[in-house]
Amino acid sequence: MASTGDLEPTHYPARRAATVALHYLNTHHGSPFRVFGLQQVHKASAEDVAAGGRKYKLDFSVTDWASGSEGPALRCSADVLFPQTERHSGPEVQLRCEALQQINRTAQEEHAFYQRYISPDSAVSARDIPDSYGNVSEEMQPFWRLARVAASFIMLRESSERTEFNMAQVASVAQQGSSEEQLMLEFVVLLHDFPSQEIIQWKLLASWSPDRGVRVLQTEWQPRCPHATKPPN
Amino acid sequence: MKGLLVLTALFVAVFGKKTFEGDQVLRITPKDEAQISLLRELSEQEHLGLDFWREPVHESLPVDVHVPFHSLQGVRAFLGYNQIQYNVMIMDVQDLLDDEEREMVKYRSFPRSTDDFVYTNYHDLNSIYSFMDMLVAENSNLVSKIVIGQSYENRPLNVLKFSTGANRPGIWIDTGIHSREWVTQASGIWFSKKIVTDYGRDPVLTDILNNYDIFLEIVTNPDGFAYTHSRDRMWRKTRKPNSGSSCVGVDPNRNWDAGFGGAGSSSSPCTETYRGPSAHSEPEVKAIVDFVKSHGKIKAFVSIHSYSQMLLYPYGYTSTPAKDQAELHELARKAITSLQSLYNTRYTYGSIITTIYQASGGTIDWTYNQGIKYSYTFELRDTGRYGFILPANQIVPTAEETWLALMAIMEHTKNNPY
């Protein structure tokens, strides 16, 4: 059901493409103290491209979930290309957001967070963030955001016109020994895909420091067995 | 003595995070003075950390001793070697404490009336079913409970009926058809209390209830809901096993006889949108189908889900617009404008297939095709930050704003009889 030309901004074709742009934004600008959510798509259009594949042009707003209940909206525009290839290859994104560089207020918090956890004794480990009731402790908030940023690498890579990914929960976080002055974190994240309603589990190893930002070093899809029957008692 | 120990243990457990895992309490029966002496000597071995609930006194009296896990082997060897009789009174002290804690918490949070009930928390199935009974008992002139069927695991499918007279047309609202969408069941609870509170006070609701019955099924998928509490918070479907597969459950919102089997549902039991072996194969769905058909006069049908903040109308299985699309679209616009007026929560609205995705075998496509014109699906808060695990402090604001949209739909239904 590919739409071409101007798209209804509130409907799913535009929203899926904007979600891809959002994942891209978070991989490039996300941190323990900054992670963006989609606020609204203002304008969208799509066209087939010569090489086969579809290119979306988007005008949308995002908010930084780290800045209180609803921070100021940031206006962005993006081109999202879903290539047409035999085997899946991730979308290509070009993104421009206004005033992104001016957001520097988090530098202090990032350094404090870094100093606190870079010590060799540090061995953070936790499960279920948020818990079943939506609770996230103060201490876990930056890890939650980091997980979302790291998960965005996977969500971006796995996206197509038939997916719409969100991170549903962090199943676990386990700090690994620091390497090259990077915080090393092993996450298991649960991704939620809207169209299929599936919960998809990924284990990943990410590094972070205020200077180098988030990098994802390893990813591993993990089968979930929620559909299996309980073993007989 | 035991009570004091438990209290101390709990105090320590709360503030010191000590655990008594693997500890046991032994009941020793010394047969003579010699054994009493041996037991007294044992009690003096401080490194064992023994705590005598009953001291060794006399050969006819049992000796109860709490033995920490690390000392168990030694103590049992000592007793065995000296041929001192004993049996295990408490297999694992921590288990006992855990059970007791659970009982205490349950007892503490058991409300005595629906005014006591904590609407700002998530509750389990038993609590919700108790709430329903309390609501009925407190408002027996207005509310009754109908059991429309049984779930696969034989749980009652309870529907609250709000009625002020006989033979009225009806308005149906369901929450929790997908069990992981916890804000919906929680909102359903709040709606039911809102109705009994506002009847006789709010002129619009009073007028609605003087002309229509309201049917509210709060836990539409109780098996799934129990499973989200006990095993998997992310469980969506029913819990019926599928023959020939190790995968359990059917998506109850793909199981209706509207475009059943088409694109937008899955034929694999191991997927979240598995449609089931046939339309209405799930007892949870069949019960509603039978109810609606036998009632014959349902005029509005609202099925509530989460998340993504949308108000949707048919169709999901086909891109052919619904006959009443224009009216449904305009009413949706009014409803979400009301919703937004409270906390500025922004909703998207439109037909299912254009707005969210193609979905076949969906609830409101079936109800609409049955002639229930005002058929709507909500997707409540939020838009992905917390998703299914919405913090409890958002339950009431979500319910409050959603109620405004529901009132808009119900009022329009009443003002436009058909």
Catalogue all structural domains in chain A, each as residue range(s) with its CATH number. 5-221 (3.10.450.10)
Indicate whether B300 and B405 sit together in one domain.
yes
Inside any domain, residue B14: no
Q: Are A160 and A199 in contact (CB under 8 A)?
A: no
Is the pLDDT confidence value at B234 over 80? yes
Local confidence band at A230 (pLDDT 50, 70, 90 cut-offs): very low
Contacts of A166 in chain B (CB under 8 A): 384, 387
Contacts of A11 in chain B (CB under 8 A): 348, 350, 354-355
Q: Are A33 and A113 in contact (CB under 8 A)?
A: yes
Is the pLDDT confidence value at A228 over 70? no
Inside any domain, residue B354: yes
Indicate whether B201 and B278 sit together in one domain.
yes
Inside any domain, residue B18: no
Indicate whether B131 and B84 sit together in one domain.
no
Is the pLDDT confidence value at B115 over 80? yes
Inside any domain, residue B187: yes
B355–chain A Cβ distance below 8 A for any pair: yes
* Mean pLDDT score across all residues of chain B: 93
Instruction: Count Cβ atoms below 10 Å from residue B51 Cβ, excluding itself.
Output: 15
Local confidence band at B17 (pLDDT 50, 70, 90 cut-offs): very low
Render pLDDT for B131-179 as a digit per residue (tens, 0 to 9): 999 999 999 999 999 999 999 999 999 999 999 999 999 999 999 999 9
Cβ-Cβ contacts under 8 Å for A203 (sequence gap 6 or more): A186, A187, A188, A219, A220, A222
Of the three residues B91, B125, B143, the one that is the final residue of a domain is: B91
Least reliable range by pLDDT among B86-90, B210-214, B399-403, B409-413: B86-90
CB contact under 8 A, A10 and B356: no
Residue-level pLDDT at A100? 77
Residue-level pLDDT at A46? 97
User: What's the Rg (C-alpha) of chain B?
Assistant: 29
Q: Which of A20, A26, A132 to mutate to test the interface with B (most CBs of B within 10 A)?
A: A132
Cβ-Cβ contacts under 8 Å for B326 (sequence gap 6 or more): none
Distance (Å) from the alpha carbon of B355 to chain A's nearest alpha carbon: 4
Indicate whether B201 and B79 sit together in one domain.
no
B385–chain A Cβ distance below 8 A for any pair: yes
CB contact under 8 A, B355 and A10: yes
Partner-chain residue, chosen from A38, A134, A195, that has the shortest CB–CB distance to B391: A134
Inside any domain, residue B374: yes
Report the C-alpha gap between B180 and B233 in whole angstroms: 6
Residue-level pLDDT at A206? 98
Q: Which of B180, B181, B385, B394 to mutate to test the interface with A (most CBs of A within 10 A)?
A: B385
B389–chain A Cβ distance below 8 A for any pair: yes
Indicate whether B116 and B60 sit together in one domain.
no
Indicate whether B113 and B208 sit together in one domain.
yes
Residue-level pLDDT at A103? 59
Task: Walk across the sheet containing A5-7 and list its strands.
Answer: A5-7, A36-48, A53-64, A73-83, A92-97
Contacts of B181 in chain A (CB under 8 A): none
User: What's the Rg (C-alpha) of chain A?
Assistant: 18
Inside any domain, residue B1: no
Indicate whether B107 and B63 sit together in one domain.
no
Report the C-alpha gap between B345 and A118 in whole angstroms: 40
Is the pLDDT confidence value at A70 over 80? no
Render pLDDT for B322-350 as a digit per residue (tens, 0 to 9): 999 999 999 999 999 999 999 999 999 99
CB contact under 8 A, A226 and B386: no
Of the three residues B38, B63, B91, the one that is the final residue of a domain is: B91
Is the pLDDT confidence value at A224 over 90? no
Indicate whether B54 and B168 sit together in one domain.
no
Which residue of chain A has the CA closest to B243? A229
Instruction: Count Cβ atoms below 10 Å from residue A76 Cβ, excluding itself.
Output: 23
Is the pLDDT confidence value at B95 over 60? yes
Q: Are A159 and A174 in contact (CB under 8 A)?
A: no
Distance (Å) from the alpha carbon of B121 to chain A's nearest alpha carbon: 8
Long-range contacts of B67-75 (CB under 8 A, 24+ apart): B67/B23, B67/B24, B67/B25, B67/B26, B68/B20, B68/B23, B69/B21, B69/B22, B69/B23, B69/B24, B72/B22, B72/B23, B72/B24, B74/B48, B75/B26, B75/B42, B75/B48, B75/B50
Residues, chain A, total? 233
Which of B181, B282, B379, B401 is flagged as catalytic?
B379
Contacts of A8 in chain B (CB under 8 A): 350, 354
CATH code assigned at B145? 3.40.630.10
Over residues A87-108, mean pLDDT: 84
List the Cα angle A163/A80/A157 in 5-degree steps: 50
CATH code assigned at B53? 3.30.70.340
CB contact under 8 A, A227 and B247: yes
CB contact under 8 A, A130 and B389: yes
CB contact under 8 A, B387 and A226: no
CB contact under 8 A, B387 and A8: no
| 3-state secondary structure string across chain A | CCCCEEECCCCHHHHHHHHHHHHHHHHHHCECCECEEEEEEEEEEEEECCCCEEEEEEEEEEEECCCCCCCCEEEEEEEEEEECCCCCCCCEEEEEECCCCCCCCCHHHHHHHHHHHCCCCCCCEEEEECCCCCCCCCCCHHHHHHHHHHHHHHHHHHCCCCCCEEEEEEEEEEEEEEECCEEEEEEEEEEEECCCCCEEEEEEEEEEECCCEEEEEEEEEECCCCCECCCCC
Q: Which of B222, B211, B299, B301 is nearest to B256 (CA)?
A: B301
Indicate whether B182 and B35 sit together in one domain.
no
* Residue A175, token pair as written in the block: 């700090």
CB contact under 8 A, A37 and B385: yes
Amino acid of residue B29: T
Contacts of A7 in chain B (CB under 8 A): none
Contacts of A12 in chain B (CB under 8 A): 354-357
* Residue A153, token pair as written in the block: 């690498």
How many domains does chain B contain in total? 2
Q: Are A158 and A165 in contact (CB under 8 A)?
A: yes
Indicate whether B43 and B159 sit together in one domain.
no
ipTM score of complex: 0.93
SS3 B91: coil
B404–chain A Cβ distance below 8 A for any pair: no
CB contact under 8 A, B389 and A133: yes
Q: Which helix (H) or strand (E) holds B352?
A: helix B352-355
Inside any domain, residue B6: no
Indicate whether B206 and B275 sit together in one domain.
yes
Burial of B94 (0-12, 13-18, 19+ CB in 10 A): middle
Inside any domain, residue B276: yes
> What is the span of the domain harbouring residue B33?
24-91
Indicate whether B114 and B65 sit together in one domain.
no
Q: Which of B109, B231, B275, B357 to mutate to test the interface with A (most CBs of A within 10 A)?
A: B357
Render pLDDT for A7-63 as a digit per residue (tens, 0 to 9): 999 999 999 999 999 999 999 999 999 999 999 999 999 999 988 899 999 999 999
Task: Note if B46 is an active site residue.
Answer: no
Report the C-alpha gap between B162 and B406 in whole angstroms: 15
